[in-house]
Structure formats: structure tokens, C-alpha cells
Amino acid sequence: MRSRPRSISITSGKGGTGKTTVTANLGIALGILGKRVTILDADLTMANLSIVMGMHQVKTSFLDVLAGKADLSAAIYENHGIKIVPTGFRFEDSHEALSKAKRQRVEEAINKLIQDTDFLLIDAPAGIQDATIVSIAAANEMLAVCNPTYTSLVDAYKVIRYANVIGAWTRGVVANRVGKRAELPSSEIEQFMGKTLGSMPVLAEIPEDSRVQEAELEGVPVVVYEPNCAASVAINRLAKVISSEAALPQISDRKESLAETTRRLARALTARNV
């Protein structure tokens, strides 16, 4: 019997931290470990996951599913060994889809989605907005992505505080784009979080790496483009941390059923259609 699927919302305080790039590459790294992975782009208005994954021709997206124009199966794409559920690029499309979304239809779609995966990664919108909060609430766990700067750290802190308020459990922080001139080492990030939030580990330091930009220009995630570069090594190490419960806080105290996970995610995506 396989373990219950895990849903993880990946968030950041503001745009520009590299959150979507981390999400895409983490998903592929988990897939390399033999996990069944699905990434859902929950940023319904500013989606770019498909671009990071090199998927420039997406005929059917999750917005079509929300609007009742397509079955979920048509919006699931396989790329680099994992499944991707992209969202469209046009704001007008997202507005139309949300206005037509029906709770039952979305619950059925999400139920199908989550039952056929080991990890559902939810690429949440950046910042503190309604869509971000409901994406966090929909998941079992949250990862906060920040850059090693004071402003980015404060932004991540705010998101984690909001997550605490709504009862979401933050597994830890991912420090992205860490360079030699970083304002903050991981020890100071952990110290700050420890004083304000309690224990909050930095699960990974992903270094600033020119290969990441090269990979994005080629439309290929860096863990595929250059598996042995510094950024890829750090992301693969993060995947091993995420996939293992060893020496990490457990999630067993949140005995949320698969059906409840489905309902929470459906409520998140149809927040205006109760």
C-alpha cells in the first residue's frame, strides 16, 4: 500500500525569488527519485510554469477545466517524467473561467488529479493575496522560497505568519539565489525565524548559478539541462529532504483524508463560487 499523497504549496512573499523555477525543478528532482509528481499552476492570473517547463504550446489548460470546457485529462501534460497542469496566460481567460467554475466539477477533477500522484506541488501566486492564502490552505504543507536579502526574508516571514493563522504547516524555508555577496547566511535566516516563529529550518540553499539562466533561455529546467551544476545538486538534495521524513517534523498530526484534501483544494480554486 503506497503512502497518502502529499500536497505542498510553494510560496514566496513577492515575485522575483525564483519560486516557479524552484517548483519546476523540485518536481523533476522528485520524479528522478521515482516519485509520481504532479505540478499544478495555481497562479490563475500570472501563470508562467509552462514557460519554465519549456511548454510554449498549451492548447488546453486548467482554466478550461474550471470553465467546464474540457476534461481534466486534456489539461494534464507529461514533461521530463512528471505531470504538469498549466494555467493559461490571458487574464481575460482566468476571469471567465472563475466566473463559470462549479464546485462539484472542480472537486471531481481535483480528486482524479490527487489520487494518481505521490506529490502534488502547488505553484502558488506570489505575495499576500486571496489566491495565495487559499492555495496555502489547500495544501498539507508549505515551502517558503526567499532570496538571501532582508526584504525578501521579511516578505517570507509575512507569508509564513499568514499560513500559521489559517492553520497551514510550513515545512521550512528555501533560500534561493545564494551568492558570495548574499546579505544573509542561512544561520541568520534560521535565527530570525526562530525568534519570531519558533523552529523554522532552512531546508536548502540554492546557489546563484549561471546555468539556471542558460537553461531558462533554452526552455529546459536546469536539473535536466545541467544535472551536475551547483544549483541542480542543491535542488536534488532538497528533493531528498522533502521525500524523506528522517529528522524532520512529521505531518502525521494532520490526519486529513484524501477527500478533505480534495475539498480544500476545490474550495481554494473556486473561492468566489461557493
Q: What CATH code is assigned to 6-269?
A: 3.40.50.300
Boundaries of every domain in the chain: 6-269
237 touches 33 (CB < 8 A): no
User: DSSP string covering 53-90, please?
Assistant: TT----SS-HHHHHTTSS-GGGG-EEETTEEEE---S-
14 touches 150 (CB < 8 A): no
- What's the distance, CA 18 to chain centroid? 11
Strand partners, 123: 10, 41
Instruction: Check whether 143 has a pLDDT greater than 70.
Output: yes
Phi-psi region of 172 (alpha: psi -120 to 50; beta: other; left: phi over 0): left
Residue 245 vs residue 33, higher pLDDT: 33
Name the average pLDDT for the chain. 81
DSSP 200: -
265 touches 56 (CB < 8 A): no
Query: What is the tens place of the pLDDT at every residue in 110-137?
Result: 777 788 899 999 998 886 655 555 567 6
The pLDDT assigned to 272 comes to 44
Closest by Cα among 172, 175, 161, 170 to 17: 175
Whole-model pTM?
0.85
Pairing of strands 169-178, 119-123: unpaired
Distance, in Å, from the CA atom of 199 to the CA atom of 156, rounded to the nearest integer, reads: 15
Distance, in Å, from the CA atom of 52 to the CA atom of 38, rounded to the nearest integer, reads: 15
Instruction: Check whether 248 has a pLDDT greater than 60.
Output: no
Which residue carries 528522478 as its cell? Answer: 32
Query: What is the tens place of the pLDDT at every residue in 24-73?
Result: 999 999 999 999 999 999 877 667 898 899 888 888 988 888 778 888 89
Q: 34 to each of 24, 37, 53, how far by Cα in Å?
A: 16, 9, 19
- What's the distance, CA 177 to chain centroid? 17
CA dihedral 142, 145, 149, 150 (to 10 degrees): -20
Q: 258 to each of 4, 7, 115, 248, how far by Cα in Å?
A: 8, 10, 8, 23
Closest by Cα among 231, 232, 22, 248 to 121: 22
